[in-house]
Amino acid sequence: MDNLDFNKIMSEGNEYADGERNWPGRSDVSPAVIKRLPRYFRYLRELIRNGKTRISSGELSEIMHVTASQIRQDLNCFGGFGQQGYGYNVNYLYAKICDILGVGMGFCGIIIGAGNLGTALIKNPMFEKRGVDIIAMFDVDPTIVGKVIAGIEVFHMNDLERFCKNNRVDIAVLTLPKELAQEAAEQAVRLGIRGLWNFTGKEFYFDKDIAVENVHLGDSLMTLCYELCHINQRTGEQSDED
Amino acid sequence: MDNLDFNKIMSEGNEYADGERNWPGRSDVSPAVIKRLPRYFRYLRELIRNGKTRISSGELSEIMHVTASQIRQDLNCFGGFGQQGYGYNVNYLYAKICDILGVGMGFCGIIIGAGNLGTALIKNPMFEKRGVDIIAMFDVDPTIVGKVIAGIEVFHMNDLERFCKNNRVDIAVLTLPKELAQEAAEQAVRLGIRGLWNFTGKEFYFDKDIAVENVHLGDSLMTLCYELCHINQRTGEQSDED
DNA sequence: TAGATTGTTAATCGATTAACAATC
DNA sequence: TAGATTGTTAATCGATTAACAATC
């Protein structure tokens, strides 16, 4: 599972030691920890960009606004990545987090729904940065089908089955209208796709060999509104009749 | 704070009673509960659409795949919205959740960054459904400034200050490049905007009279990848060399 | 009244923080 | 060796679930 990049990183710092013990825990890590991993990924990436090679949990805790204790606990779910008296080697830790998160697994994805949101996503460098390769888009709108968006061809939904038989597809990004979501998701799963990145607002209840990650933008907006209401209450609602 | 819609809803069912006790708790409700409120909002909306007028916590728990206990606990953070032996009046409960979440507060927002994502958001009915009125977009790109997207004019960032002085702006949606995010956010706050809906990936640390809601799409994608890795491990990685 | 279902308290479970021995 | 900082256990805190008395 080590790749060239990883070997390169390994050779850069040699203050850490210890190697791999075999960690049994990996299987049942708490959801709270998992949700935090991508944040470590981002901050470590930033540290590397800034040329930092070594960091302690205390220093990282200040940058990330969390406790040092939490950082050590989180990382130790997956292995002993640090060294007493020294801290963590940034490149090594980053490589480990990448492994854990499956960056470099070469996952392939398709986008179902080539409307505004699907188009916005494909034009975002996000997929590339995280090692997910989007290989096709699908839609039913005849004015969209056949187009090439950001270098990716848009096929008709009727071609989905054929496409999935000829290509490995791990992830379907669902950016189609809510009403069509259930059917599209079921079809994707039937064709062997195991991961759904769901922007439709519809909720799915597949069994747990299907991974579904929901992005509810509306929910996020409402949480913001709730907070705003309460800030206004605290600071004395600057209402219109002042 | 009651509006016409609310009165209409109130008159439809009269099986509930009780009215308002004054709930002291409203101020410090746990984050876990708050994060769940928008989901109740969505499901209640759906129930109303289906003509359902009355529901018990048990029935709702089945639909939403959570425990009845949790539903009752959550709702009771804000008031006694149900009635023993009867359940909850759907319209009444929906109206209450709307009040709590600030739907109908008439929040006004602007979008800073009229690129693909900003454009995708403005074309989405989400804002309208949740009572947030987007009144302008801003950008620096001369090929975009001056355009009208989905009925909303795109101004130059230089006009932001003037605009905010002449209009009430509660929320800034940040869909501009990460490198420009910090400065734009600070400017928005300086101009009196209290709510930031942040898509930039940059993290802000304002004090708590500023509400920031982060949407980290990349984090969500990586969580999905993590889950996929573990499904593959469980079900026996269907690798290339099979 | 009897049946149903809430509101609320108590019990359990999980997640975070603190503390410190191990060790580099 | 002395100093620093991890890995890990124990203590605290918060969130969820279970149970049941109140009551419609």
Question: For A6-15, A61-70, A119-128, B226-235, which range has the lowest pLDDT when averaged over its residues?
Answer: A6-15
CA angle A212–A214–A215, rounded 5-degree value: 150
CA gap B188, B182 in Å, rounded: 10
Strands (E), B25-100: 54-55, 82-83, 87-89
CB contact under 8 A, B121 and A217: yes
Q: Which residue is nearest to nucleotide D22 (CA to C1')?
A: B84
CA gap A79, A81 in Å, rounded: 6
Residue positions counted in chain B: 242
Torsion (CA) A47, A48, A51, A54 in degrees, nearest 10: 70
Which nucleotide is closest to the Cα of A54 by its C1'?
Answer: D5
Q: Which residue is nearest to nucleotide C22 (CA to C1')?
A: A84
**Which tens digits make up the pLDDT trace of A28-70?**
899 999 999 999 999 999 999 999 999 999 999 999 999 999 9
DSSP H or E segment with residue A156: strand A152-156
Q: Are A114 and A149 in contact (CB under 8 A)?
A: yes
Q: Residue A104 — φ and ψ, nearest 5°?
A: 90, 5
Half-sphere exposure of residue A218: CA atoms within 13 angstroms, side-chain side: 20
Q: Are A174 and A160 in contact (CB under 8 A)?
A: no
DSSP H or E segment with residue B44: helix B31-49
On whether any CB of chain A is under 8 Å from the CB of B102, the answer is yes
Closest approach of A83 to chain B, Cα-based (Å): 26
Question: Does the predicted model carry a pTM greater than 0.75?
Answer: yes
Three-class secondary structure of residue B159 per DSSP: helix
Residues 202-241 of B with CB under 7 A from strand C: none
Torsion (CA) A39, A42, A46, A52 in degrees, nearest 10: 60
Q: Which of B33, B167, B53 is nearest to B101 (CA)?
A: B33
Mean pLDDT of chain A: 88
CA gap A133, A175 in Å, rounded: 17
**pLDDT of A241 above 80:** no
Q: What is the pLDDT of residue B3?
A: 31
What are the helix and strand counts (H, E) for chain A?
10, 10
Query: Which residues have CB under 8 Å from A4's CB, separation 6+?
Result: none
How far out from the chain centre does Cα B85 lie?
32
Nearest to A223 among B65, B213, B229 (CB): B213
Q: What is the pLDDT of residue B156?
A: 98
According to DSSP, the residues that pair with B88 across neighbouring strands are B55, B82
**Which tens digits make up the pLDDT trace of A157-191?**
999 999 999 999 999 999 999 999 999 999 999 99
Residue A237 — pLDDT band, cuts 50, 70, 90? low
Q: Are A78 and A28 in contact (CB under 8 A)?
A: no
Nearest to A39 among B124, B197, B219 (CB): B219
CA gap B167, A52 in Å, rounded: 45
CB contact under 8 A, A194 and B226: no
50-79 of B, contacting A, C-beta below 8 A? 65
- Residue B24 approaches strand C within 7 Å at CB: no
**pLDDT of A128 above 90:** yes
Edge-to-edge strand order for the sheet containing A211-214?
A: A148-149, A152-156, A132-139, A107-112, A171-174, A195-198, A211-214
Residue of A nearest to B38 (CA): A219
Residue A25 — pLDDT band, cuts 50, 70, 90? very low
- Residue A76 approaches strand C within 7 Å at CB: no
**pLDDT of A239 above 50:** no
Q: What number is the average pLDDT over the span A9-33?
A: 53
Q: For each successive 10 residues of chain B (242 residues), what is the average pLDDT? A: 32 36 59 97 98 98 98 96 97 97 96 97 96 98 98 98 98 98 98 98 93 98 96 66 36
Nearest to A228 among B107, B119, B215 (CB): B107
Closest approach of A85 to chain B, Cα-based (Å): 30
Which nucleotide is closest to the Cα of A18 by its C1'?
Answer: C24
